[in-house]
Amino acid sequence: MITIALFMFVFIIFAFCFLYFWGINPGDLTVFLADDYSITFPIPIILISTILIGLLLGNGVHIFSLIGHTLSHWRRDRKEKKVQEIGSIYREGVGRLLSGDIKKAHSLLQKALDKDPARAETYIAMASVLLQEGKSEEGVNLLLKAKNIDPKSLEVLFKLATTYEEIGRFDAAAEAYQDILLIEKDNRKALRCLRELHIAHNRWAEALELQKQVLKVGPGSNRLAEEKEKLLSLRYEVARQALEDEEIDKAKSEFKDLIKEDSKFVPARVSLGDAYLAQERTDDAIKVWKEGYLALGKSVFLSRLEDYFLNAEDPSALLGVYKEFIDQRDNDLVLQLFYGKLCLRLEMVDDALEQLFAVESSGVETPQLHLLLAEAHRRRNRIDESVDQYKKALGIDGRLNINYVCDKCNTVAETWQSRCPGCGSWGSFSVAGRQQILSAAAPIEARPIHHGERE
């Protein structure tokens, strides 16, 4: 009622103003639409008509704008509702995937893909489902579709690279990591993954260049020492490769630089001696190995010296080296073990037993020591002592127990265990050698000998 009353009030005011305006403007106005055609109207009528036409046009534009806004808002609401619906299906599918319900995850994610085939993260999740189903090629194809949708998505590229690695397509994985580095050249994860890929395939030079980039980017204070150590190791591998390629001077120079930077880096000292030996500079090679052992006490230097002197048929010189070492490192059990082994090899059995007993009396219990002692006793015809040492080497006690081995990870145990402490699997322990026994040919069945027969 108020609206009608207000409308009538406005109409009366308008009518009053119109009549008043007409009263003070009684004339007519002629409007020519062509040379020979005109229209004559009272001035108030023309003025009011103009106002009404303007109001009509203004309201028409407003109405069309309102309709357009309403349609746009409706489309946006519909799109948002669809996105929310697809997002809900996607999240539920990922949840099923993480829960291990692969079949349900496959169904939900496929439904999400059908509703929105332009969503890259759905392709990634679906690819994970297919990979768990053993459909690796289909999974890769989905990841390639995701890459086409969003070529610069690091998530897609990382997933593609790791998938290629899992299925053994290492060159394709390397290309995927390279694509990441083209987008973000300082991406630490991509640099490290590509580096490890090159290391796994002995591409040392490429791995070294990537490691330099890792250090240039800045690995963080908690990993700096580790990354520097890896740089040292990769430099060594490049130098070792040069030595194998007979670029001896180049390799030798790098080995020396590595020793200067880290005097405790054993591989560089060992290979520097190898480089000198390749150049027939035997005195320098021997010097490097001797200094290496005296400085670091690593048995590899003893092995190198032993191999050289015995191949040169000069055991007396090797004995001299051992005696020189013993004078300087008289409490070195590793040295005594190697010296005892050498004496045994040279038929110096009493000297061998002296050195080996000294090691055993220190509480050392290793199969290698017991084998050497067993062989020394055998050569002295001490059969009982030899057998005892062989038993210790083989871990055989009076009950002649046979060890158990995990079929999954080869962990050894003296007694059967329900769960492997190495890999955590249950029921995997079998008697040692079981697989070889089962795979061996069945023995020829002996013919029964009946009563009264002779073989």
**What confidence tens digit (pLDDT) does each residue in 359-398 have?**
888 888 888 888 888 888 888 888 888 888 887 777 766 5
Comparing C-alpha atoms, which of 275, 306, 313 is closest to residue 290? 306
pLDDT in tens, the chain (455 residues): 787 777 777 777 777 776 666 667 666 767 676 777 777 767 677 777 777 787 778 878 888 888 888 788 778 877 778 778 888 888 898 898 889 899 999 999 898 888 888 888 988 999 999 999 999 999 999 999 999 999 999 999 999 999 999 999 999 999 999 999 999 999 999 999 999 999 999 999 999 999 999 999 887 778 888 999 999 999 999 999 999 999 999 999 999 999 999 999 999 999 999 999 999 999 999 999 999 999 998 989 999 999 999 999 999 999 999 999 988 887 888 888 888 998 888 889 888 888 888 888 888 888 888 888 888 888 888 888 888 888 777 776 655 566 788 888 888 887 788 888 888 888 788 877 666 665 655 555 555 555 555 54
> Token digits for 34?
């062509």
> Token digits for 441?
């040919």
- At 153, is the secondary structure helix, strand, or coil? coil
- At 241, is the secondary structure helix, strand, or coil? helix
Q: From edge to edge, which strands make up the β-sheet containing 429-431? A: 412-413, 404-406, 429-431
**DSSP classification of residue 29:** E
- At 402, is the secondary structure helix, strand, or coil? coil
Q: How far apart are CA 427 and CA 410, in angstroms?
A: 13
Q: How far apart are CA 159 and CA 390, in angstroms?
A: 54
- At 319, is the secondary structure helix, strand, or coil? helix
Buried/exposed code over 163-200 (b: 16+ C-beta within 10 A; e: otherwise): bbbeeebeeebbebbebbbeeeeebeebbbbbbebbbe
Q: How far apart are CA 289 and CA 271, in angstroms?
A: 9
Residue type, 368: Q
Residue 455's pLDDT is what?
47
> Token digits for 110?
């496929």
Q: How far apart are CA 182 and CA 163, in angstroms?
A: 19
Give the torsion sign (CA, 306, 312, 313, 316).
negative
Which secondary structure element, helix H or strand E, spans residue 412, and what is its range? Answer: strand 412-413
Comparing C-alpha atoms, which of 331, 359, 329, 328 is closest to residue 343? 359
Residues near 198 by beta carbon (within 8 Å), at least 6 away in sequence: 174, 204, 206, 207, 210
Comparing C-alpha atoms, which of 206, 141, 212, 152 is closest to residue 179? 152
Q: What is the CA radius of gyration of the chain?
A: 45
pTM above 0.75, yes or no: no
Distances (CA, A) of 145 to 142, 148, 153, 170: 5, 5, 12, 20
> Token digits for 248?
């001896």
